[in-house]
Structure 1
């Protein structure tokens, strides 16, 4: 056997198994999905399980789309919206956190190492307090990338300018629930924790009863799948302020909870099944 063959035989084999629901088991699952997929600028302190670990802030997007970095003042950040994707986003984030725990001011992790074999204790489920929610702070820009009273320069300045220009006005209405003004259209995107089939049945029950909207100026637009969960979307009147949808969203949530509870004793009737088939036809998947 030649040297090349011997070297190749010693290389560890990494079996890539796609994890469809990477944040399963975490109370913050719906929030993590929202922050990864459609919230432009937001931060949240990570509830690390190990005592003594340094404070790490989760951010939607970091400078130059980095996986993690340490600001000059020592503040540590891990990014959710990272360009490189592997079979398990939870593991990627866990590796970024492990790197951040020992990184120094000015250090940057461009992408997590996805080539080495998975190790125990590397997933978010191993590193975070499972039943802890995220306390999300929304930002109108990305100035939080920099320490206070710091002027950006070079690539960071260019990256900051591009990122700020791309931000769409966004407001958080509840856990995993966000209003966004996208140009001339406004939407409510709501990451739901229920299994897809169960949620679709509840949505269909509301649809058949004419109770699926948020009131005048709203329309149910469809849904998309993201990281194992369903995200219903409503079109909203763009002239209305985000806070005008607070109460309608709470009322819709209450109706949805009632519909979910009723499924245990009342299966869908014919009109509700037709409504469910219509809802299924208005779906797409985001990985």
Structure 2
């Protein structure tokens, strides 16, 4: 028994993690069944790949539903001769490319080959550091399933993350450059499919995006709170009739994306995105108050009924 206890202590001393605790990679498994297993993890599905990054909600929005956006990355070890830009999507859904002018781009909306999106994107960033102008990385190879840095290792913590929304994909092509026939076709198709999107800019509002879907407009707001706690707070507001953003809006439901919950509201398409910024800020304050009240006031009967209704309103975005 003493020998077994000593062995467990040794494992913890070497890794710094209790084998019975959740694995730091975010897979949801115990450490001893994941990266603490002999040989490490092999293609473990990381359900919350951007956990630990202050910009986690923004990364999820750009990967899941923002059509055309870019943000310049602040890297711990930046290349001396170029800027690396994170983009929602690239021509032919490439994982990364370096334009003819030497500017490097890494795509978020790409097919991944491992269970860890963060590690796949980090590999694309590493490729973009040294690739030659005009080169493209179609996909990230399967060797990213094991080893190598994650995005959390490459980004400067709490650095500015200034998302720039574009009305089309013309930024794919440098000025005074004639694209190839393949890229030109991809550009035309992408521009045809794009839906007008804007990022709400209001105090206390982050990762909230308005999109004009035609007959309706929507607000998609990526929240970093734990799902169960967030649903409790949303239910409290719903029971009070305070869950909408005002006239011309209604709560539509929510969907999950990379470990976080994304509530969605239907909005009057006749109203401009900026008209929803102040209502969103006010809703955000109500939501923060509801979250804070949960520790002292559990949900009452009417709020529990409202929560049951919210739980059943999972939606699928197109």
In the alignment, which of 81, 97, 100 is matched to residue 72 of structure 1?
A: 100
Is 1:148 aligned to residue 146 of structure 2? no
In the alignment, which of 118, 127, 140 is matched to residue 90 of structure 1?
A: 118
Q: How far off its partner does 1:74 sit?
A: 0.2
Q: Verify the 8 A CA contact 1:96 1:112 in the aligned structure 2.
A: yes
Cα RMSD, aligned residues only: 1.7
**Within-5 A mapping of 1:35-184:** 35-50=62-77, 52=79, 54-115=82-143, 118-120=146-148, 122-173=149-200, 174-184=205-215
User: Which protein has the bigger strand share?
Assistant: 1
Identify the residue that residue 207 of structure 1 maps to in structure 2. Answer: 238
- Any gaps of 5 or more consecutive residues in structure 1? 1-11
In the alignment, which of 9, 22, 27 is matched to residue 54 of structure 2?
A: 27
Q: Matched residue of 1:144: which SS?
A: helix
Q: How far off its partner does 1:15 sit?
A: 1.3
Runs of 4+ in 1 over 4 A off after TM superposition: 51-54
Deviation string 1:76-114 (CA, Å, 9 cap, x unpaired) is 000000034531100100110111111010110000112
What is the rounded CA distance, in whole Å, between the counterparts of 2:206 and 2:114 in structure 1? Answer: 26
Q: Verify the 8 A CA contact 2:42 2:146 in the aligned structure 1.
A: no
What is the rounded CA distance, in whole Å, between the counterparts of 1:249 and 1:14 in structure 2? Answer: 41
Number of equivalenced pairs: 274
Q: Matched residue of 1:101: which SS?
A: helix
What is the rounded CA distance, in whole Å, between the counterparts of 1:209 and 1:142 in structure 2? Answer: 43
Relative contact order higher in (CA < 8 Å, ≥ 6 apart) = 1
- Any gaps of 5 or more consecutive residues in structure 2? 1-38
Q: How far off its partner does 1:228 sit?
A: 0.1
Higher mean alpha-carbon deviation, 202-211 vs 133-142, is at 133-142
Deviation string 1:41-81 (CA, Å, 9 cap, x unpaired) is 00001121125564200011101110000000000000000
Identify the residue that residue 290 of structure 2 maps to in structure 1. Answer: 259
Q: Verify the 8 A CA contact 1:28 1:132 in the aligned structure 2.
A: no
Q: Matched residue of 1:132: which SS?
A: coil
Q: How far off its partner does 1:132 sit?
A: 2.7
Q: Verify the 8 A CA contact 1:48 1:129 in the aligned structure 2.
A: yes
